[in-house]
Amino acid sequence: MIVDRDRDLVKEAVSELNRLKGAAEGPTRFLTHLYASALEEWADRLGMDPLQLNKLVPTGDVVPGHGPR
């Protein structure tokens, strides 16, 4: 379970990964590798599974706090 102190860290991770994920969806392989590396780093720092953390990162279809359009 995520405690309040870790909740802020998770929000920071999701925010950073969201920016990277949006850029990584383009044709640049470097950005895809950068996203994967950042995902692994944040997951390790948070003690989470990278796949679980990746599920928290919204795709381009969702605006954070606004739900699907």
**Residue pLDDT, tens place only, 16-68:** 999 888 777 767 788 888 999 999 999 999 999 999 999 999 976 544 454 44
**Side-chain half-sphere exposure of 40, counting CA atoms within 13 A:** 6
Whether 63 is covered by a domain: the verdict is no
Whether 51 is covered by a domain: the verdict is yes
Whether 44 is covered by a domain: the verdict is yes
| Domains: count for the chain | 1
Per-residue pLDDT band at 3 (split at 50, 70, 90): low
Whether 2 is covered by a domain: the verdict is no
Whether 24 is covered by a domain: the verdict is yes
Question: What pLDDT does 61 receive?
Answer: 57
Per-residue pLDDT band at 2 (split at 50, 70, 90): low
pTM of the model: 0.68
Whether 18 is covered by a domain: the verdict is yes
Task: Judge whether 18 and 59 are in contact, CB under 8 Å.
Answer: no
Domain of residue 25 covers 7-56
